[in-house]
Amino acid sequence: MAQTTEEYGAKDITVLEGLEAVRKRPGMYIGSTGPAGLHHLVYEVVDNSVDEAMAGHATRIDVTLLPDGGCEVVDDGRGIPVDKHPDPKMKGLTAAEVVLTVLHAGGKFGGGGYKVSGGLHGVGISVVNALSRRVEVEIDHGGNRHYMDFENGGKLTTRLSVTGKAPRGRTGTTVRFWPDPTIFEDTNFQARTLLERFQMMAFLNKGLEIRFIDKRPGADRPEPVSFKYAGGIVDFVSHLNASKEALFKRVGYFEQAEATQEVEVAFQWNTGFNSDGLHSFANGIATIEGGMHVEGFRSALTSVVNKYARSSGLLKEKEENLQGEDIREGLTAIISVKLQEPQFEGQTKGKLGNVSMRSLVQKATNEKLGDWFEENPTEARKVVTKSINAARARQAARHAREATRRKSALEGAGMPEKLKDCSSRNPDECELFIVEGDSAGGSAVAARDPRTQAILPIRGKILNVERARLDKMLKNNEIQALISAIGAGVGEEFDVAKIRYDKIILMCDADVDGSHIRTLLLTFFFRQMRDLVEREHVYIAQPPLYSTVVGKEKTYLKDDAAKAAFLEEHPNHKKEFQRLKGLGEMDYDELGDTTMDATKRTLLKVSVEQAAIADEVFSVLMGDDVELRKHFIQQNAKDVRFLDI
């Protein structure tokens, strides 16, 4: 290694004070500076209010998008404490000022402020302050209204002071913030994204009302929207199953509490074939990777159903036990646990690690679900019969599934004939382009980097897996090709660690058929290879819509906004703009420049923030209920951001 004359000493160590670290590396705290990070600011503020509700001190949260681009969150909780903080290091700041300006400061690290809480790191509201150009806070506490404000990334400009009496003895907190446009790519909130999250929070907190109003000029949803569910997670299950045919009418429910932790479970089977309808939460946080509470439920569920199947005679003595995937086929269930000291694995809090919670959930499910089966024999028999049919389908699919498993690298067999594979065997650098049609496939093969880029053309529209069991799927040639090429199995056996490509890139035409094919592919990945989506290995190619010539050089423009910006910069441009309709119509050099060259292309990463919401959307859009699908499209048409007509 070559030596350098540069010295490295104490002078090279940078110390970021206060909230500077957040502004320097915002992605560490909110994930990104794109739309997900922007909306995360709202969630952080609302989560604080939800924690007040979980503690039994708030019943309503009002969220308002302001005309000037800000957001206001109002709750009727206790109000942030306004007395001086006792720690001398805080230099006489009030508790409220500390909460807004100091990372890892809050009332959720011990003591009696909160028994359970979703916000555990104490960075929420201070991060919002750091990433906003202005923040205003009003606190109704002790009969008085207090006010303070901050500017330019969390700088305290107005110290906390009493501005008058709190109206009618009210208590609570109001936070108004305006995201910093120098931090975020776009500061325009999406109403639908927020509404989905608020509805889920209302489901998880029985009786809590969350109201939303969009006061921005030209708002698509100017009327107030209110979520409040007396049935809590029972209503959540009914909502998720609204687009499906329920196996029985009444949603099952049980709960149990021990010491500082509690669990509640709502469940209902439907006639569908998906086995991924189990959604779990801990202190209101979606645990998309599951954890101990899910392990406890799954284990007990399998035991309870097999025990009932044997005792009822539906499962004969010589027949093998039903497997978990058989029993979970068509199951929609919500597991919501609350505990005082949750142990979340990873920054995303995606997996619950408390072993004691597994014991509680397993015990509760064995007892309470066992009682439910005994008390509801008609419904229980339907569940067991469906599980037995699923087991038979699984056994029928066994040989087909084995035929689609990836062969070892030494054998070099088992890949679909039409796959043009890459030469690299390092998955981290490899990409699989799934291309619509043979014509685009030919161009893609010519344009690719053969060392790291593989091409798999698919012909026509693949099977809609929302309406099919695995045994039927595995008879479909295009699905067999996808499973073989990706190489990590399918369904319950899918192992994301075995994927042959780090990026799976969908390359479909920008027309109605292309959109339909893309949706069918995403449905397949979400239902049968969910980890592929949740671990963010799936991407959508974003070919440009226009091309034009500047001098002798061809210039590509991503969309209408890019075209408008180009014309603003080149007001005297006289050349025509060519509308690029299909990937199959591009020459291989055009395809390479615009869609496949990693230094020039634009890819859209497919992610799942809330699996329960995604589950519902896929069921509505790809299921059998035409009227519900029509209603969904009518309700959400105004929220479409990428429409090509």
Catalytic residue set: 436, 509, 511, 513
Length of the chain counted residue by residue: 645
**CA dist., res. 413 & res. 38, Å (int):** 47
Q: What are phi and psi of 436, to 5 degrees?
A: -80, 110
**CA dist., res. 59 & res. 52, Å (int):** 9
| Residue 87 one-letter amino acid | D
Q: Helix, strand, or coil here: 524?
A: helix
Q: For residue 463, what are the contacts with CB-CB under 8 A and spacing of at least 6?
A: 472, 473, 476, 478, 479, 520, 524
Q: For residue 468, what are the contacts with CB-CB under 8 A and spacing of at least 6?
A: 273
The DSSP secondary-structure symbol of 217 reads T
**CA dist., res. 290 & res. 283, Å (int):** 13
Q: How far is CA 72 from CA 137, 444, 477, in A?
A: 10, 49, 52
Q: How far is CA 11 from CA 14, 25, 291, in A?
A: 8, 21, 45
Measured on CA atoms in the order 7, 10, 11, 16, is the torsion positive or negative? positive
Strand (E) or helix (H) holding 53? helix 35-54
CA dihedral 100, 226, 264, 56 (to 10 degrees): 50
**CA dist., res. 369 & res. 364, Å (int):** 8
Q: For residue 640, what are the contacts with CB-CB under 8 A and spacing of at least 6?
A: none
